[in-house]
Structure 1
């Protein structure tokens, strides 16, 4: 039997879980594009060239809780986002590319200069025992949740705490106008009074004044990012009522503060809490040339590093999708060539130094996680296709 190299395939077929809840029941409806299927079918007929495998791919690996698809893929391929090839390496066994579970064994078999995937089952009880290839999916109890593409804890706070509006919608949103018992700042379970058009909603997020996100080159406003303060529930609507002397008396709506990230204050704005979808998105390169710049760093940092979030000056209108992978570039330094009789100014080549993974997309702006990076990232830095 040819040397069995472990794991991959459908592994990178996975889609990014944007929520920590179980989504396996929805997996059969996850998006697989015609282009991804075409690539998978093409590779399935021939396998992947050994030159595409990572130099130090391990001989064995069992998927465990805490694994991510990205990290597992890096063990076996030079380009972790190239999941269609991995899925296509054994389409007969890997019919659903979106589900890889802890407990599964994935075996990479190398023959005739190509690599193909097969599932395997370990024979024996120790880590050094033989991995036996099987002609079908293994049937045994598995963890209930597919493993995610990237660590979810790195983006969960963002998904909960951040809102981007295409227009400055918060300027006309309902606002907190008073607090119970003359309080200036409000905490959990306190009552707040607000005015505005609630549009039938009862569940709100509370925000401070939004700030514009601008394109680093054109200065165009791409959207408005609003700092998250907390959540509140509408418990009593407001009303305008007539007094005995015929005047109009304005009674604001009553809300109860449910949770706070920071204390809620007079003037804070309210926006209906969005319904977060449970869709999962696969890592993939854009199917056409796409480049842009870092518009802003999420939070208060002056520079960003690995596992931090950045805003990109490209969004849905530009063709950006959740799951897109981009390469980060560092501008070449300006230098003086002193090797000649007359010194001359030169510019060193730009250097690629990191990878971005897009997980949230708006009309003109999107947000990405820095998967890897060599140098600090700052607004204005470029990104391109990987």
Structure 2
């Protein structure tokens, strides 16, 4: 993963395990992660089960350092890549020492992680003053523990990569935006309006005051069946109601329609006439851990988010599996490259035969938002460009 990662490794003696954390966000405008986030019962059960015996040494990366000092800018996924053969399995490792790591959201720069190995198993400990750690290990102090979110607890994965898409990436089951409130005029007759400017809107607001702006709802087609899975609308920004619409009598007794007045707030694109409004949903704070699907999964990439024909690492794709298929936020999925055609010229009859080489696994997806029949996923690692129609499965 080509993400910022600053590591300070101590003596490279043997494998190490590390503390683990959940990913958390608001599905509204803000993204957050911090020490007050909940730990799910399923995650705690996994942690308690692992804590009884530790993790087999076979789960560890052969080149992991013997101890590690957490650095500002680290993410747990990146740290896990340093220590584990399967970095997305860090929730299991969190349970290695429940006495010291009671809440996985409380992992800060400056903390030292080191390994205790016994009987072919590994358990994780945090360095403490007076516990016999080597002299070259940095001890923890109150200064580290007291840091606030923005300068303190490290994130599970780089939230800045998916944060904008928690608002941007939206799939509607039907093309409901076609009848949604719409911008009909702009301040001083401008073609486009920017942040802080005024737009005029007609349509049923349903009592809401805060709205998201969308453009160009387009159908998402299943690459296999060609059926419509939903409608993806391009996110424009947000707007707030300042004055409601009114119907009044004008000069000569003629009825006049006065549209609602909106103030444009945040924007990804300049807003314009025809853009549609949809109420801002309630914030949905969720903490969870990366995990594999409980059942086999086989699906296809529907599209690359945006205008690209293919995507690389840290980009977003939509996939043709959603909540009704058992896909959950936090699922990790394997990407596969289709086997290329080849010709076998070694047959005993001397005639060439067309064959197809096996599919090859070449990347990982991290699902961060789900809808009924579609989900959005971050490409966390990939060897070759990802295209619509590419296959994914459980890892």
Q: TM-score, structure 2 length as denominator?
A: 0.87
Look up the match of 1:382: 391
| Per-residue Cα deviation, 1:277-299 (whole angstroms, up to 9, x for no partner) | 33232111111222211011011
Is 1:369 the counterpart of 2:378? The answer is yes
Residue among 77, 80, 85 paired with 1:78: 85
Give the Cα–Cα distance (whole angstroms) in 1 for the partners of residues 216 and 306 of structure 2: 15
Task: Report the Cα offset of residue 7 of structure 1.
Answer: 5.3
Give the Cα–Cα distance (whole angstroms) in 2 for the partners of residues 279 and 367 of structure 1: 16
Counterpart secondary structure, 1:314: coil
Given the superposition, is the C-alpha separation of residues 278 and 303 from structure 1 closer, same or farther in structure 2, using an over 3 Å criterion? Answer: same
Unmatched 5+ stretches in structure 1: none
Look up the match of 1:64: 71
Q: TM-score, structure 1 length as denominator?
A: 0.89
| Per-residue Cα deviation, 1:5-32 (whole angstroms, up to 9, x for no partner) | 57534x22433445865542532x2324
Counterpart secondary structure, 1:327: strand
Give the Cα–Cα distance (whole angstroms) in 1 for the partners of residues 173 and 258 of structure 2: 31
1:310·1:367 contact (CA, 8 Å) conserved in 2? yes
Look up the match of 2:22: 14
Task: Report the Cα offset of residue 4 of structure 1.
Answer: 7.6
Look up the match of 1:208: 215
Give the Cα–Cα distance (whole angstroms) in 2 for the partners of residues 184 and 256 of structure 1: 16
Moved more, 221-230 or 17-26: 17-26
Is 1:30 the counterpart of 2:34? The answer is no
Moved more, 145-154 or 272-281: 272-281
Is 1:226 the counterpart of 2:233? The answer is yes
| Per-residue Cα deviation, 1:301-359 (whole angstroms, up to 9, x for no partner) | 11111111110111111111111100101110111111220110101011110011111
Trace 1:306-385 onto structure 2 (pairs within 5 A): 306-340=313-347, 341-385=350-394
How many aligned residue pairs are there? 375
Give the Cα–Cα distance (whole angstroms) in 2 for the partners of residues 348 and 6 of structure 1: 36
Residue among 75, 90, 98 paired with 2:97: 90
Give the Cα–Cα distance (whole angstroms) in 2 for the partners of residues 32 and 214 of structure 1: 36
Give the Cα–Cα distance (whole angstroms) in 2 for the partners of residues 186 and 37 of structure 1: 49
Moved more, 111-120 or 87-96: 87-96
Task: Report the Cα offset of residue 78 of structure 1.
Answer: 0.8
Task: Report the Cα offset of residue 175 of structure 1.
Answer: 0.6
Task: Report the Cα offset of residue 190 of structure 1.
Answer: 2.5
Counterpart secondary structure, 1:353: strand
Look up the match of 2:4: none
Is 1:144 the counterpart of 2:144? The answer is no
Task: Report the Cα offset of residue 140 of structure 1.
Answer: 5.5
Look up the match of 1:253: 260
Given the superposition, is the C-alpha separation of residues 277 and 102 from structure 1 closer, same or farther in structure 2, using an over 3 Å criterion? Answer: farther
1:6·1:61 contact (CA, 8 Å) conserved in 2? no
Is 1:41 the counterpart of 2:48? The answer is yes
Given the superposition, is the C-alpha separation of residues 7 and 102 from structure 1 closer, same or farther in structure 2, using an over 3 Å criterion? Answer: farther
| Per-residue Cα deviation, 1:215-261 (whole angstroms, up to 9, x for no partner) | 11111222211112232221111112234655432111111222333
Look up the match of 1:165: 172
Unmatched 5+ stretches in structure 2: 1-11
Residue among 274, 279, 283 paired with 1:272: 279
Look up the match of 1:191: 198
2:212·2:239 contact (CA, 8 Å) conserved in 1? yes
Look up the match of 2:135: 129
RMSD value, Cα: 2.6
